Structure 1
Amino acid sequence: MTTAPSTAPGKWTITDIPDQNGRTAVVTGANSGLGIATVEALAAAGAHVVLAVRDPERGEAAAAGVPGSVEVRRLDLADLASVREFAAAWRGDLDLLVNNAGVMNTPESSTKDGFELQFGTNHLGHFALTNLLLPHITDRVVTVSSEAHKKPGTPHINFDNLNLTGEYTPRKAYSQSKLANLLFTLELQRRLAAAHSPVRALAAHPGWATTNLQRHDGSALNRIVMRAVAQDNKAGALPTLYAAVQDLPGASYVGPDGFGEVRGAPTLVGRSPAASDPATARRLWTVSEELTGVTFPQPTGA
């Protein structure tokens, strides 16, 4: 598949990443797509990067092609026992957590804990992981969302039916999960600030990027649009990297600067009104704590 060119000359690129020597990062879903591009860029800048992946064999194959300091650890975000195991094994400081992994437009199915797969993986898995690791995190948490959170017909979190039982569509479920990512970031930042923590929570979206994430999307129109305008995974990872290393305010949202935020260089972008509502963010946090059994801890440095 031919993809559109990367960012224009003079725009922010991976060459603008400051020295990352001495820093440690975890990137979820790191064996392909945006994840491996994020790993490559951080490792090239000197960071030690942990590829947190569901399939360690695939993770090792991906890590073998990355120059720099990397390692692979198993993490299945669709299984809270796996999330707890990953977090319990962590030792020492963690400068950066990149909540990148996700599933998109999947057939109706559930996580091992009985949650709708996209909401359970994209939001609840990362919610639990972040809170369990937070006592170790020293700098920031970056969560990858999507402009799908603005999709018509998904203006809110369906608190009365989070699993969308009887009304499930792949796109509705994906949009709800990506809206949850932004609300999670908003409330996480509020709690960090209230705890006087130096840790920041930020979010990013890649625009249109060619990754394995779209393998369940059977839309012919989407495939045509993808061929015409999509960025490659390296360009798509730039908003995540920008959020990970630039001095930005907490709760910032980064995306491409091109028309419709489809492609381009990273810049601060806006979120929908539904993704900006603090009351909804607090409610989602409370529900997420109840569903996962994981609560907000005392962050490092607070």
Structure 2
Amino acid sequence: MTQQWNQQHVPDQTGRVAIVTGANTGLGFSTAQALAARGARVVLAVRDVAKGRAAAGRMGGDVQVTELDLTSLASVRSAAAELRENHPRIDLLVNNAGVMYTPRETTRDGFERQFGTNHLGHFALTGLLLDRLTPVEGSRVVTVSSVGHRIRAAIHFDDLQWERSYSRTGAYGQSKLANLLFTYELQRRLAPLGTTVAVAAHPGVASTELLRNSPAALQRLGNPVARRLAQSADMGALPTLRAATDPAVLGGQYYGPGGRGEVRGFPEVVTSSPQSYDLALQRRLWAVSEDLTGVEFPREIAVGTQYLAD
């Protein structure tokens, strides 16, 4: 029988500092609200500060707001500097923000928008904050992926920015596959430290603002069948919350809905696509991401001491 893990299972978070990106609405809002309700000091890292403050006002608890635009590496660096100044220790970083099925656009740094926002922005933010996490026993980096990492998904190293041709679905799949490759590589590099773990999660199909750019079939949420298919944001946030707070979580795990096709249901450990576990892909993407963002991770995990025996 599926264990029905829900918000009531979130343990006391008093004394923990949690950063949640994209927490104005949807999954991020539900995640941040649940953490704040359990006593965490929560920072909403959001592009629109006014909306972030309004969201914080609806949550209650100890909630702060930091400006973060993941489409700009300058903004990522500025946000990281502010977070580092205000929080000498960070217990939890939730890389939640994302865009989905957008038209062909580029970030301020010239990256394809979905890859730049969903992966590169979070890669850079994690690297800039990691030394605030690694001294903290039990700290976690949780990155939100998607079932879309299986759909027309590959890392197009010969055309990462989709300059030759563009597919909304393919670009989204690439970015969500990148989230998993990053998580697994990060966990392997963190493992020798024994303090911080990297975990991934996905919401299944949740009715949030992300669906506004989806294909027509996914947009028809007014259809009774589609309404039954899509989970609420609160349900969709449960895998992230479990990955972030369940004491039994292990580094490198991936949480998603336990129902058929991982579309809906209560959170369980799930399995990602075979290519997401490809060590060569993980290592290559890491190196390319460091080069594109100019962000070097802390020295103790930069090389990955666990590779010395390879």
Instruction: State the match for 2:114 in structure 1.
Output: 118
CA distance in structure 2 between the partners assigned to 1:271 and 1:97 by the alignment: 21
CA distance in structure 2 between the partners assigned to 1:208 and 1:132 by the alignment: 31
**Identity level (%):** 57
The question of whether the paired residues in 1 share the 8 Å contact of 2:99 and 2:210 is answered with yes
CA distance in structure 2 between the partners assigned to 1:250 and 1:294 by the alignment: 23
Instruction: State the match for 1:26 in structure 2.
Output: 19
Q: SS where residue 64 of structure 1 aligns? A: helix
Going from structure 1 to structure 2, the CA distance change for 1:227 and 1:271 (only over 3 Å counts) comes to same
The question of whether the paired residues in 1 share the 8 Å contact of 2:211 and 2:218 is answered with no
Point out 4+ residue stretches in structure 1 off by more than 4 angstroms. Answer: none
Instruction: State the match for 2:93 in structure 1.
Output: 97
What pairs up with 1:14-53 in 2 under 5 angstroms? 14-53=7-46
The question of whether the paired residues in 2 share the 8 Å contact of 1:33 and 1:212 is answered with yes
Instruction: State the match for 1:3 in structure 2.
Output: none
Instruction: State the match for 1:210 in structure 2.
Output: 207
The question of whether the paired residues in 2 share the 8 Å contact of 1:207 and 1:263 is answered with yes
The question of whether the paired residues in 2 share the 8 Å contact of 1:37 and 1:233 is answered with yes
1:198 is displaced (CA, Å) by 1.1
Instruction: State the match for 2:267 in structure 1.
Output: 266
CA deviation profile, 1:254-282 (whole Å, cap 9, x unmatched):
00000110111110000101111111000
CA distance in structure 2 between the partners assigned to 1:299 and 1:143 by the alignment: 21
CA distance in structure 2 between the partners assigned to 1:255 and 1:173 by the alignment: 21
TM-score, normalised with respect to structure 1: 0.93
For structure 2, list consecutive stretches of 5 or more residues without a partner in the other structure: 306-310
Instruction: State the match for 1:80 in structure 2.
Output: 73
Q: SS where residue 135 of structure 1 aligns? A: helix
Instruction: State the match for 2:145 in structure 1.
Output: 145
- Corresponding position: 1:238 with 2:238: yes
TM-score, normalised with respect to structure 2: 0.91
The question of whether the paired residues in 1 share the 8 Å contact of 2:211 and 2:219 is answered with no
CA distance in structure 1 between the partners assigned to 2:101 and 2:18 by the alignment: 28
- Corresponding position: 1:198 with 2:195: yes
Instruction: State the match for 2:280 in structure 1.
Output: 279
For structure 1, list consecutive stretches of 5 or more residues without a partner in the other structure: 1-7
CA deviation profile, 1:2-57 (whole Å, cap 9, x unmatched):
xxxxxx99611111111100000000000000000001100000001000000000
The question of whether the paired residues in 2 share the 8 Å contact of 1:119 and 1:173 is answered with yes
1:73 is displaced (CA, Å) by 0.7
CA distance in structure 2 between the partners assigned to 1:77 and 1:242 by the alignment: 24
Q: Using CA pairs under 8 Å that are at least 6 residues apart, name the structure with larger relative contact order, 1 or 2.
A: 1
CA distance in structure 2 between the partners assigned to 1:207 and 1:272 by the alignment: 15
